[in-house]
Amino acid sequence: MPANLSPEFKEAEQRYKAATSWEDKLRALEDMLAGIPKHKGTEKMQADIKSRIARMREEGPPKAKSGGRSQAITVDREAEAMAMLLGPPNAGKSSLLRALSKAQPEVAPYPYTTQLPCSGIAYHEDVPLQVVDLPPLSAERPLPWVIGQARNADVLLLVVDLAVDPLSDLHETLRLLEEAKLYPRRDPAAAEEAIRHRAKPAAIVAAKLDSPGARENLDAFRELYDGDLPLFPVSAQSAEGLGEIPAFLFRTCRLMRVYAKQPGKPPDMDRPFVLHEGDTVAVLCEQIHKDFAQNLKFARIWGAHTFDGQRVIGDYVLHDKDVVELHL
């Protein structure tokens, strides 16, 4: 079957061949994937483009050479959900990360304190969630690799400063992201078809709620903001509102947790396995050990959707807070 490649695909392919930066190459590949006709004749081409995109995202952008070496600035995934804090200089991102986790990014009253990604673990109840503080977004000091890393996030947290002008902060952040063809959306699945593959779940985090005049600025922001992104007013100092952020990440990433138990022993309630809604007993087995799924005979489930100790097989769909006893 002929490929019948579209003009959009051919134009993106030319941009890919001419691109010299990591960011431009990745953007061109994403446009190639969006523009390629979806039929049997292009299946191998689609697979090749997807493989190149995945490899580029995994390797990350190259770091400037120093001493004859070149390293990539990347953020390693440490949890099933990864959110990234994005915003202008001095918006309060680093203070938020300190308040949400045990991470210790440098905090200072002057701009551009954060130069490299800093990662921490926040918790929704007993579920770990990764939150990453990235260097600020700024037209004056653009760092293309920052947006490159943001593309790998599951959720974007757009931080605005309630002590100054939160609406201007938000508009500038959205402008810089959308110029780079990264689109924060409440529901990416509902985004326009042309940008859906580049849309990310997002929320606004309105920081410094404890600052003088912040609540008045918040009221004005709510009145003037005409978008639909979820809004979370928070204070890193008093912790007001902070608990809403991990709960939002847990819901948005459609996570659930299950607890394992050995036959004849109580379940280990201190170490949940974090899965995604719709995952099965077989997926849990693969997460524990690759051989478990092949050797599974049956499992017993304790939870709100079964009677205690109900016997199930590998295709049983698990639910949040299920207790699972595997029999191999």
Radius of gyration of the chain (CA): 22
Q: Give the residue with greater pLDDT, 98 vs 116.
A: 98
Q: Does residue 153 sit in the same domain as residue 191?
A: yes
Examine the domain organization and report whether 240 and 314 are in the same domain: no
Q: Compute CA distances 237 → 29, 246, 263, 285, 300, whole Å.
A: 43, 17, 46, 42, 45
What's the CA gap between 86 and 114, in Å, rounded? 11
Answer positive or negative: Cα dihedral of 177, 137, 99, 223. Answer: negative
Do 181 and 102 have their domain in common? yes
Q: Do the Cβ atoms of 317 and 301 come closer than 8 Å?
A: no
When pLDDT is averaged across residues 3-24 and rounded to a whole number, the result is 80
Asked if residue 245 and residue 278 are part of one domain, the reply reads: no
The dihedral over CA atoms of 52, 57, 63, 68, expressed in degrees to the nearest 10, equals: -40
**Which pLDDT value is given to residue 145?**
83
**Angle formed at CA 3 by CA 13 and CA 38, multiple of 5 degrees:** 85
Domain-embedded: residue 1: no
User: How many helices (DSSP H) and strands (DSSP E) are in the chain?
Assistant: 10, 12
Structure tokens given for 88 = 């202008």
The verdict on 238 and 99 lying in the same domain is: yes
Asked if residue 27 is part of any domain, the answer here is yes
Indicate if 163 and 132 belong to the same structural domain.
yes
Q: Taking residues 85-113, report their average pLDDT.
A: 85
- Strand positions, DSSP E, the chain: 82-86, 118-124, 127-133, 155-161, 183-185, 199-207, 231-233, 255-261, 273-276, 298-302, 310-312, 322-327
3-class state of residue 131 by DSSP: strand
State residue 289's pLDDT score: 86
Number of domains within the chain: 3
Residue-range definition of the domain harbouring residue 314:
255-327
Tens-place pLDDT, residues 113-150: 677 889 999 999 999 999 999 999 988 887 888 888 89
Task: Please name the helix (run of DSSP H) or strand (run of DSSP E) that holds residue 25, with its range, or none.
Answer: helix 22-35
Q: At which of 252, 277, 294 does a domain end?
A: 252
pLDDT per position as a tens digit, 236-279: 999 999 999 999 999 999 999 999 999 989 998 988 999 999 99
Q: Are residues 91 and 163 in the same domain?
A: yes
Phi, psi dihedral angles at 140 (to 5 degrees): -75, -35
What CA–CA distance (Å, rounded) separates 102 from 59? Answer: 27
Structure tokens at 200: 């990310």
Co-location of 40 and 121 in the same domain: no
Cβ neighbourhood burial of 96 (10 Å; 0-12, 13-18, 19+): buried
Q: Name which of 97, 249, 241 is nearest 162 in CA terms.
A: 241
Which residues touch 306 (CB under 8 Å, ≥6 apart)? 312, 322
pTM: 0.77
Let me know whether 197 and 94 are in one domain.
yes
> DSSP code of 162?
T
| Cα 124 from Cα 122, distance rounded (Å) | 7
Q: What does the pLDDT look like over 23-63, one tens digit per residue?
A: 778 888 888 888 888 877 788 888 888 888 877 776 666 65
* Inside any domain, residue 68: no
